[in-house]
Amino acid sequence: MTTTTQTHSATQPQQEKTNMPNTFATNSNFDIKNKEQSMSYPSMNFLVASSTQDKTNDIIVHSKDGVDIEQSLRNVTNMAGIWYNNSTRQLYAVLGQCYELYYLIESADSSKRDKYRDDVKSAYSALNGAQGANTLLSKIVSVVFNFADLDRRQRSRYSSVIKTAYGFETKPTDAAEFVSWLERTGGIVAALDKRNDKASTKVEQSEINDTVRAMPAKARVSIPNGNNKFVVLLAKPLDSNTVEVLYQFEEDSIGDSLATRAYNAQQKLAKEAEKRPTAVDAAEKLTSERTAQGEA
């Protein structure tokens, strides 16, 4: 194809340039904030059909001497920067909605929470287990990011960054607060790095559960159950030695939560016991005090 920009008159390129859609101008004027809220816009297309392009606006720059490599690289780099900034903001917005959904489910009262969890399980079951998710959060992320070229590892990263935000004492309460937190943190990689820094001291749930199972039993009750990790019984006291079981819970989330509380309580008691003097310590201290008094 011949290069027409060298043979056109002075007025012709100006007319063609006016008719040419400028992708960079379009992107810079794109209202990201408003569009992220609605999430109703299509993916941006930086590629324009060559038949409609003015050669002066080509990303790959041609001249009479050949290809201007340096300028072409700058153009492609700018193009990539626009794509990265826009796609990152859109990704944060989607993750924010996933976070808010997870937050609303986990903070709902027990009757609604169980229904919400069942709804997520139902939506996930439509994927026929292909995603390999085994937690509520990972199932939410799997349903939302159900794309063939998005592997399980990437979905796991998305779940992890949401879980990190939810784990803070002053956690975000909606999508906007999550996005704000993620931006302040420095993005997904920075958030996961902070999580990994804390992970060295964090005890895995499986270890917590094993520790709790090894605790001395308070009583043994014969009651039908689903043979899950834990069965939580709600009981009322009849007297100082007898309780009456009113309801049983077998959801993993409830069992794990109470097991964690029992584990933390045990660890606290163990630390307090370490601080208390033993009988030998007390005897040695008493002896030293008496010796000091005798010398005085």
Evaluate whether 120 touches 105 at the Cβ level (below 8 Å): yes
66: its two tokens: 């050949």
Provide the pLDDT for residue 296.
Answer: 57
**Which DSSP state fits 64?**
T
**In the chain, where the domains are located:** 4-85, 92-199, 205-295
pLDDT at res. 47: 46
Separation in Å, CA 59 to CA 56, 76, 86, 211: 9, 6, 19, 62
Please answer whether residues 150 and 127 qualify as being in contact, where contact means their C-beta atoms are separated by less than 8 angstroms: no
Cβ neighbors of 56 (< 8 A, separation 6 or more) are: 5, 13, 17
User: Rounded distance, CA 46 to CA 73, Å?
Assistant: 15
State how far the Cα of 175 lies from the Cα of 148, in Å rounded to an integer.
26
Q: Is 246 helix (H, G, I), strand (E, B) or coil?
A: strand
Q: Would you state the pLDDT for residue 148?
A: 85
More confident residue, 210 or 291: 210
Tokens linked to 141? 């992320």
Query: Which of 116, 134, 114 has its CA nearest to residue 249?
Result: 114
Closest by CA to 164, choosing from 145, 186, 191, is 191
Query: Could you report the per-residue pLDDT of 39-83, keeping only the tens digit for each?
Result: 333 344 444 444 444 444 689 999 888 999 999 999 999 999 999
Q: Mean of the per-residue pLDDT values for the chain?
A: 77
Average pLDDT of span 216-238 = 87
**Of 117, 57, 130, whose CA–CA distance to 249 is shortest?**
117
Cα(168)–Cα(70) distance, integer angstroms: 47
Which parts of the chain are beta strand (E)?
A: 62-63, 66-67, 232-239, 242-249
Name residue, tokens 């043994």: 220
Q: Which of 56-65, 87-96, 199-208, 234-243 has the lowest mean pLDDT?
A: 199-208
Section 189-194 average pLDDT: 88
> Is residue 162 within 8 Å of 104, Cβ to Cβ?
no
pLDDT of residue 34: 37
pLDDT tens-digit profile of 111-123?
A: 899 999 999 999 9
